[in-house]
Structure 1
Amino acid sequence: MLGNTLGYIDPKGVYWECTERGITQSNELLGKLPKERSYFWNASNDQVFIISTVEIYQLEKSRSGSLKIQKLYHGSKLDPSNLSSFYYDEANSILFAGSATDGLGKFEVKRFKTYKPDVLLSTRSQVFYSVNELEPNTVLTAAGYLIKNGKMEKKYNFTRDRSKLIIDKEKNVWVTGYTSIFCFTSKSNYSEKIKVLHTDDDCSALFYDSNNDAFFAAVDDRYNSTSSLFIKTKEYGFKFEEIAKIPAKVNQIRSLNSESLLLCTASGLFKYFKATKKIVKFESTKNLAVRNAVIINENEIWFFSYGKGFRLLKDNKIFKFPLDDNQSLLTAHTVVPDKLGNFWIPTNKGLFRVKRIDLLNYANGHTKKVNYFLFKKDSGFYSNEFNGGGFPNSLITQDGNIWLPSLNGIVCFNPEQLQPKSYAENIYVEEAIVDDQTIDIRNNPMLPRNFERVVIKIVAPYYGIRENLVLEAKLFDGENSNWTRIDESGKIAYTKLAPGKHKLVVRKRIASENDYKYLTLDFCVKQAYYDTALFKVLMVLVVLSLLFGIYVVRIFYVNKRNELLELKIAEKTSKLQDIITTLRETTNRLNAQTTGNRKIIQYITHDLKSPLRFMAMLSRDLIEDPNKNQEQLSESFLAIYQSSNQMYGFVENLLDYSKLNLSQLEKRERTWVYDIVISKINLFRPIAMNQKTKIFNQIPSDFTINGNPVLLRIIVHNLLDNALKYSAGKTIIFSASEHETHKVIAVIDTGVGMNTETLEYYKSLSRDFNNRTDTVGTGLGLKIVIELMVVLGARIEFNSSSNGTVVSIVFDK
């Protein structure tokens, strides 16, 4: 029964249908059916199978009504009489066969096809190293085998060295012969053999740059320490010319761009510039023996180091990738990209598929894991060991098929027909063993307290290659947050779990390399009353209440004590601060008054020197000239009288000043400058007359300042005294001026003036008197004046030349 139609296949392979119109002959079956065959009809699934002793076919009708036959199995001998049921899982390409005596069998439909010689000419006939496309969808091997229209046959005899095969634009075939390179011309149907290069050493690499129609070859020395790089272009005909020396054995040559080549060597990757013949080494690869490289673009170069896996050169950085569980990727030969975004990686232990974007995400740090999918002999090829030492060691033909040479034939497959299979997605928890006691954790998820070890057994149906089954578990208990791989036994164990609830999550990789099916198992470890959350909450509340009560009592006691202490401290502090303030003010005032008294006494004592000196001078004149006339004697005695009277006045002023306190010293009042100047001129007039010095007071009589009269008298006295010393026979003038912000009293003499050093000294002293230490010594009069300027809050200015000196006292209004 096929569909809703009853059918019959006669011995000649003709299909007959029985319909309402009667019995009619239908299409003749495509292909030849085995002579000895039997039929099985799976009525529940509407599937018809044809069984022979070594093959199983499925017969089906397409939507258009035409018949289609598909071979599902070809292998060891079958006994059709012992097979009782069949079912074909088309989604996963799995044929199930049931037997009354042997149980259930599984046959996976092969999606890989392996080509190998029907007749083995030698023990190496089934070993292949390189493949290339001679015509569209026609594959040629270096051993001379041609694969076309699904058939493989020996066509050509090239060389015994079958590792390298190049086809140029004119369809000429170039192969290596260990120490030589040969060209087999297409025009001679590859019977003409031309030796184009012969050396004493092995030819380790051969490459054809189709963009420039140029050949490159590398010949290594017998010690594999250096290689010679050769080139052949149309200009050279069939001859190669040496162009460079490479400091390592060259394993493969690749075109990086139109201007440079990439050299895979035993000492890393090198870059060769065609125009300049310059060689640059990729220093980050210097410790790697690079066997092969695949260039996706100039910034994405995948390279392979035999026994050390594969790496990516990107942005001048090297990225190394994690291996599979069995570390089979250590012997990765190459990567073959397909149109679906996958990389196919042949190794010595099978063929891997991985998404290119997963590898790039790992390199960029976006993920910490890479999922690989493995294909082995069970998938349809005869050997798990692929060969990667030849060139080309992989091929993508125009129909999208990928070809890989192996130790036992050439494997061919179409990536689009190898989409991830949807194996059974279900995950089951079979049982749990707690300290050697088996429990049904699914229906009774309560585990006893204080157990030592629990083993949970997980069952996940899977019909594919065991290495592709990724079964992982994670226990969310706040301690273990990583996925743990479950081994083939399906068991995962935990020891001494804490009382309370736990969540076990198990995941199984399905279909795509990054798709998972999840199972969650919630279970609980029995708790004692003191392990329950309610008990813990109550205990926490009790402890918190006790602590809070103690805290409140303690705070109340501390606050009361602190209040009393604060009152006492505040009271004593207030008294102490008053005492300290009073003492500080008293000390400051006493210091200021003492300092002021000492200085003023110093100043007035200095004033006494002038009359004393004058009296001494007159006394000396009287002693030296006792015969003076009466008039001269009268003048001398008058001068002595005036000087004595002046000294009396100074002593009287000194006594009066000594009675002044600090507040009186700091007192400021309206002071008539004219009167003070007149009194001082009268005081010094005898001295001036004696040395023929003229003194003029040009200060207006109503000119006043806000100052201290006592201190102003001392200042005028000292300025006039100093002017008289250096103005004998000259003129001294007192003047005053008023400005918008200040008033000025000036003492002008026409004496000898100050020298530059003295002038600069007094200017510097007036600017920074308080910080100077050189204020004692000669010239005390002006220093006294400068110091009194500080007391009065005024400033003094000096101007001097050879024609005299001007001293200005400036008072702010």
Structure 2
Amino acid sequence: MSRLARLMLGLLWVAIPFQSAIALDPTKAITQYVHTVWRTDEGLPENSVNKILQTTDGYLWVGTQAGIARFDGVHFAVFDHTNTPAFHDDYIVDLVEDRQGTLWIATSNGGVTSFHDGIFTHVDAIGARGGMALAADLDGSVWIGGYGGVTLFNNGKVIKTYTAANGLSGDPVRQLVTDKDKSLWIATAHGLNHLINGKMEAYSTKDGLPRNDVANLHFGADDTLWAQAQNSEIVRLIHGRFEPWKIQGMAGHTVGMLEDRDGNMWISTATEGLLRINGQQVSRFTTKDGLSSDLVTSLYEDRDGDIWVGTNEGGLDRFHDGSFTTYAKEEGLADDQTYSVIQDHAGDIWVTTAAGLNRLRGNQVRVFTTADGLPTNSTWSLWEDHAKNLWVGTSDGGLARMSQGRFTPALPARNDVPAYMVGGILVDGADQLWISTRGGGLVRYSDGRSRLYSRTDGLLANFIYAVAEGKAGTLWVGTSDGLNSIQDGRILSYATNGLSDAEALALHVDAKNTLWIGTFGRGLFRLENGRFTRYTTHEGLPDDTINNILEDSTANLWFGSNKGVFRISRLDLDAVAAGTSKTVHPILFGKADGMKSSETNAGSQPAGWRARDGRLWFPTIRGVVVVDPTRLFLSDRQPTARVEQMLADEAEVNLAAPARLAPGTRRLEIRYTAPNLSSPERTRFRYRLDGFDEQWTPGSIQRVAQYTNLSPGRYTFHVSASADTGRWGTQESTLRFVVLPQFYQTWWVRLLGALAVIMVLLGFYRLRVNWLHARAAVLEERHRMAGEIHDSLAQGFSGIIFQTEAALLRMKRTHSTTVGHVKSARDLARSSLQEARSSIWNLSPPALDQKSLLEQLSVMARQLTGGRVDELDIHSSGKAWLMQPEAQHHMALIVQEALSNAVQHGSPSRISIKLDYKPDSLLVQVVDDGSGIHSNISEQPGRGFGLKNMRHRSKCLGAKLEVTSEDGRGTKVSLYVPRLGALARLWRHLRGDSTARIDG
């Protein structure tokens, strides 16, 4: 989304007319509130609810006969003696919160337990036995009543206990309440007491109480004290005396009472369910209406104005005022299935159903049937013309018109008006009546004449869903096979961008003459200035089926779908059409907002209506619903996120102390919430883990964060929550924790590791320096020996070469055989001089720099044999691989020594040289058929040195040398060279062995 689009969206949020729920609208029937029930299946510890209280942190506490539950709007956290040792009894009888935010919990036989900062504590030192009643004083003190009187408790100490000796009427104490004057009212089984300024006053039947056994007390909105004795009527304290409260129609055994902030009195009964008294009007809600039980045990109004009801063995009920109000059979409609809705000139709302036509005048519903002249009770469509005539389309009785309170048939089926269901009616600006049928086409009726349009005239289908009039007299027609337009008798078809063959269920022309088309399963289409734009779930729609389209007064479009009614701003839709945003941001409304069913109905017209007061009406499969766009009950109270639990490798971490996670923790879960009792489904969360996350996670409804394999270190977890408006709260909940390191991750182990690395590097450095020093020494020695060779051995070889050249000049004309031998001697002297220099310098001979091993051996063998053998065979097998020049040099000299021995001492007629390459090795073999090597060769003076030199060279290569020979049967020299043997000499240098030499 572009920066401009985000800015416009932000301004839109600010302009949204949200309204916090401050009470239940008393004009609504109880059946029109959002009613929800929670039982043990939803997480309650037990279905008998004795007491309900919302604490200042937003949680709802529910006391039952089997423990207490803390509710955040989504989940119940249950506490009882099995998981909380501070509870000595699980039967909860009373709850109160003091000014310090401590929750006090009274149990039937286990005394009192307190809860503060996540810790439960059993309260031992109380004067009164048991703890049947609780009250909190304005100065922070807590009153505890039970058997034996009433005890004042402050700062963990008993301040004073009041008993019969102090004027208390008797035992047991049933209820305690405090008033604005900081005085205490005490209901007992033997009368009512008022403790004010340390003085105990008593009230009894003499003062107007119906009985002395007082069970319930309640202060109303005007500070009036209401009281109710066991099995008796409700009374009010007026001018020091209790007066009966008489209401016509209020019957049943009352159990308790609650006056809400609007002055409505809610009464709990033992057999008649729940009563609401508004003035003198009594409304009843029982199990027949969905109440969990007709025995109501507790009542409570939360800070959002919702009414909570605890019942016996039934569970927990809540009544919530939603943004939508539903009128269904419970409110007097003929049927739950509603199809079409309009408002007439008098302001009445008309609704069609299959069981009759309904008129809503205020909250009063009247049903019209065949008894009132309708041709059939199955009504489908409506419209009021300019003459204030009401037209009604039916399923099988054609069209009817209302006149003077009665309906008469109109336009019966004939040739030009097909006998099909009349699904839609529209009166255009020219006062022409357009009648949509289900299979018979579209009929125009004007001045007593009718005209039928069908497929033969160019319509895409005869099944007509909707018609809408645009500017300049264009009539848009939605059919089961796409969109048509009719203007000046000309019919056009539109098939583009997925609209082809689409079922066009709903049409709406807005104030800018833009056409909006709702389809079945194809999403929403927009036609503006000849350009179509398509919106689907990919662009953010909650549903791809659009049943209804309406526009409110603040440039928002409202859509009915199978998943609820949703609203999208026109700016949001424009941004997608302009390409500056990829998605829209709808607000979806459903059952949680007052609809009895989230599914709206489609196919009849008008399938929705904007009334003159701005309210929007939608037909659904369970009644017709209405919403005031300017009074949406979307909470403007920012929920406060709270971390509730941390699990490390599935084990719970104690958050009361600084969290330290064990070394090697692999999986971490942080569970969080934000108490929101009225609309928890709209609460969204974002979180960030300092030390791991670079930014906030995208907002989601997820209530758990998971991390795996966190590195050792200190972390801070942040979480914040957002309500319906999309604004993130400024308050964050944070959790700091430490992941402890493994021993090898500690600082001292890392220090030792760093020192070890430094030592290794120093060792390599020392090896390198030694190698360089040794190399320098070798180079210096080579330089010295090269000089000596040049001055001595080289000069000698040069003299031999000079003499052989002179002999050749003289022997030109002599025998050719002698000349050949002298030439060979000359060439051998030259080669020996070159090899000597190369060996001393440990450098590759010139031939080696240019030839492969096979080529080098071929040249060498021909020079050494020089026609002295009859057959010389040199061949190679396998794929040759590259080797270090030094390694090739060693192998060549080994072969040279073997050839020299064979030629000089064996007199062979045949010599074979074989190279056999393997992927990881090389076999070099020299085989001759000469006289062989005598067994005592090493004992002869000056003999055996060549074999020693060959073995020394093979050792440098890491190779294996085998020499096999028998007298008179030839010799075989085999050299097995590993592929890595070429590195042998390099490793010798790295070891600093500067004395390594190759003799010869």
The superposition leaves residues 271-306 of structure 1 with CA deviations (integer Å, 9 ceiling, x where unpaired) of: 33x236252526335333321122223464332221
Q: Whole-Å Cα distance in 2 between the matches of residues 119 and 6 of structure 1?
A: 34
Report the counterpart of residue 310 of structure 1 in structure 2. 524
Judge conservation of contact 2:292–2:314 (CA < 8 Å) in 1: no
Report the counterpart of residue 397 of structure 1 in structure 2. 611
* 1:418 to 1:15, Cα distance in 2 relative to 1, 3 A: farther
Letter paired with 1:492 = A
Look up the SS of the partner of 1:335 in the other structure: strand
RMSD of equivalent CA atoms: 4.9
* 1:417 to 1:158, Cα distance in 2 relative to 1, 3 A: farther
* 1:435 to 1:352, Cα distance in 2 relative to 1, 3 A: same
* 1:181 to 1:18, Cα distance in 2 relative to 1, 3 A: same
Q: Is residue 2:268 matched to residue 1:55? A: no
Judge conservation of contact 1:430–1:457 (CA < 8 Å) in 2: yes
* 1:517 to 1:330, Cα distance in 2 relative to 1, 3 A: farther
Judge conservation of contact 2:591–2:597 (CA < 8 Å) in 1: yes
Q: 1:291 aligns with which of 496, 499, 505?
A: 505
Letter paired with 1:19 = H
Report the counterpart of residue 386 of structure 1 in structure 2. 600
Look up the SS of the partner of 1:258 in the other structure: helix
Q: Is residue 2:352 matched to residue 1:136? A: no
Report the counterpart of residue 412 of structure 2 in structure 1. 195
Trace 1:399-478 onto structure 2 (pairs within 5 A).
399-422=613-636, 425-440=639-654, 443-464=657-678, 467-475=681-689
Report the counterpart of residue 184 of structure 1 in structure 2. 401
1:449 to partner: Cα distance: 5.0
Report the counterpart of residue 18 of structure 1 in structure 2. 238
Judge conservation of contact 2:235–2:242 (CA < 8 Å) in 1: no
Q: Whole-Å Cα distance in 1 between the matches of residues 551 and 427 of structure 2?
A: 21
The superposition leaves residues 160-193 of structure 1 with CA deviations (integer Å, 9 ceiling, x where unpaired) of: 6533222211232334445885241425732344
Identity of aligned residues (%): 18
Trace 1:71-82 onto structure 2 (pairs within 5 A).
75-76=289-290
Q: Is residue 2:310 matched to residue 1:94? A: no
Q: Give ranges in structure 1 of 5+ residues lacking alignment.
A: 60-66, 222-226, 551-813
Judge conservation of contact 2:614–2:628 (CA < 8 Å) in 1: yes
Q: Is residue 2:379 matched to residue 1:162? A: yes
Q: Whole-Å Cα distance in 2 between the matches of residues 369 and 260 of structure 1?
A: 31
1:382 to partner: Cα distance: 3.5
Q: Whole-Å Cα distance in 2 between the matches of residues 81 and 204 of structure 1?
A: 49
Q: Whole-Å Cα distance in 1 between the matches of residues 539 and 253 of structure 2?
A: 44
1:54 to partner: Cα distance: 3.1
1:152 to partner: Cα distance: 1.9
Q: Whole-Å Cα distance in 1 between the matches of residues 503 and 640 of structure 2?
A: 45
1:106 to partner: Cα distance: 3.1
How many residue pairs get aligned? The number is 517
Report the counterpart of residue 215 of structure 1 in structure 2. 433
Report the counterpart of residue 672 of structure 1 in structure 2. none
Q: Whole-Å Cα distance in 2 between the matches of residues 130 and 293 of structure 1?
A: 14
1:261 to partner: Cα distance: 2.0
Q: Whole-Å Cα distance in 1 between the matches of residues 666 and 717 of structure 2?
A: 18
* Larger relative contact order, structure 1 or 2 (CA cutoff 8 Å, min sep 6): 2
Judge conservation of contact 1:144–1:158 (CA < 8 Å) in 2: no
Q: Whole-Å Cα distance in 2 between the matches of residues 301 and 100 of structure 1?
A: 55
Q: Whole-Å Cα distance in 1 between the matches of residues 655 and 494 of structure 2?
A: 62
Trace 1:314-393 onto structure 2 (pairs within 5 A).
314=528, 316-322=531-537, 329-339=543-553, 342-364=556-578, 370-377=584-591, 379-393=593-607
1:413 to partner: Cα distance: 4.1
Look up the SS of the partner of 2:670 in the other structure: strand
Letter paired with 2:336 = Q
Judge conservation of contact 2:425–2:606 (CA < 8 Å) in 1: no
Letter paired with 2:547 = H
Judge conservation of contact 2:322–2:633 (CA < 8 Å) in 1: no
Letter paired with 2:548 = T
Report the counterpart of residue 108 of structure 1 in structure 2. 320
Q: Whole-Å Cα distance in 2 between the matches of residues 323 and 219 of structure 1?
A: 33
Q: Whole-Å Cα distance in 2 between the matches of residues 336 and 434 of structure 1?
A: 51
Q: Whole-Å Cα distance in 1 between the matches of residues 632 and 359 of structure 2?
A: 25
Q: 1:245 aligns with which of 435, 449, 458?
A: 458
Judge conservation of contact 1:424–1:462 (CA < 8 Å) in 2: no
Q: 1:483 aligns with which of 673, 688, 697?
A: 697
Q: Whole-Å Cα distance in 1 between the matches of residues 672 and 469 of structure 2?
A: 51
Report the counterpart of residue 715 of structure 1 in structure 2. none
* 1:55 to 1:144, Cα distance in 2 relative to 1, 3 A: same
Q: Whole-Å Cα distance in 2 between the matches of residues 433 and 252 of structure 1?
A: 56
Query: Could you tell which deviates more after superposition, 470-479 or 301-310?
Result: 470-479
Q: Whole-Å Cα distance in 1 between the matches of residues 260 and 395 of structure 2?
A: 62
- TM-score norm. by structure 1 comes to 0.53
Letter paired with 2:364 = K
Q: Give ranges in structure 2 of 5+ residues lacking alignment.
A: 1-218, 766-1000
Would you tell me which structure has more helix in proportion to its own residues? 1
Trace 1:517-596 onto structure 2 (pairs within 5 A).
519-521=732-734, 522-526=736-740
Letter paired with 1:460 = A
Report the counterpart of residue 151 of structure 1 in structure 2. 364
Q: Is residue 2:346 matched to residue 1:126? A: no
* 1:77 to 1:505, Cα distance in 2 relative to 1, 3 A: closer
Judge conservation of contact 1:351–1:384 (CA < 8 Å) in 2: yes
Judge conservation of contact 2:640–2:729 (CA < 8 Å) in 1: no
Letter paired with 1:140 = W
1:388 to partner: Cα distance: 1.6
Q: Whole-Å Cα distance in 1 between the matches of residues 648 and 691 of structure 2?
A: 18
The superposition leaves residues 732-778 of structure 1 with CA deviations (integer Å, 9 ceiling, x where unpaired) of: xxxxxxxxxxxxxxxxxxxxxxxxxxxxxxxxxxxxxxxxxxxxxxx
Report the counterpart of residue 233 of structure 1 in structure 2. 446
Report the counterpart of residue 793 of structure 1 in structure 2. none
Letter paired with 2:451 = F
Q: Whole-Å Cα distance in 1 between the matches of residues 720 and 438 of structure 2?
A: 52
Q: Whole-Å Cα distance in 2 between the matches of residues 158 and 390 of structure 1?
A: 18
Letter paired with 2:535 = K
Query: Could you tell which deviates more after superposition, 497-506 or 128-137?
Result: 497-506
Trace 1:746-761 onto structure 2 (pairs within 5 A).
none
Q: Is residue 2:264 matched to residue 1:34? A: no
Report the counterpart of residue 799 of structure 1 in structure 2. none
1:253 to partner: Cα distance: 1.0
Look up the SS of the partner of 2:407 in the other structure: coil
* 1:184 to 1:137, Cα distance in 2 relative to 1, 3 A: same
The superposition leaves residues 134-172 of structure 1 with CA deviations (integer Å, 9 ceiling, x where unpaired) of: 343312233322222312222242446533222211232
Look up the SS of the partner of 2:543 in the other structure: helix
1:412 to partner: Cα distance: 3.4
1:390 to partner: Cα distance: 1.0
Q: Whole-Å Cα distance in 1 between the matches of residues 738 and 312 of structure 2?
A: 45
1:421 to partner: Cα distance: 2.5
- TM-score norm. by structure 2 comes to 0.44
Q: Whole-Å Cα distance in 2 between the matches of residues 72 and 93 of structure 1?
A: 19
Report the counterpart of residue 805 of structure 1 in structure 2. none
Look up the SS of the partner of 2:497 in the other structure: helix
Q: 1:263 aligns with which of 472, 477, 491?
A: 477
The superposition leaves residues 81-137 of structure 1 with CA deviations (integer Å, 9 ceiling, x where unpaired) of: 7524x3223x6341123568777653324664433457999xx94322111223433
Letter paired with 1:211 = G
Q: Which is greater in Rg? A: 1
Judge conservation of contact 1:206–1:217 (CA < 8 Å) in 2: yes
The superposition leaves residues 424-453 of structure 1 with CA deviations (integer Å, 9 ceiling, x where unpaired) of: 712221222222332246743554554322
The superposition leaves residues 559-618 of structure 1 with CA deviations (integer Å, 9 ceiling, x where unpaired) of: xxxxxxxxxxxxxxxxxxxxxxxxxxxxxxxxxxxxxxxxxxxxxxxxxxxxxxxxxxxx
* 1:474 to 1:308, Cα distance in 2 relative to 1, 3 A: farther
Look up the SS of the partner of 2:544 in the other structure: helix
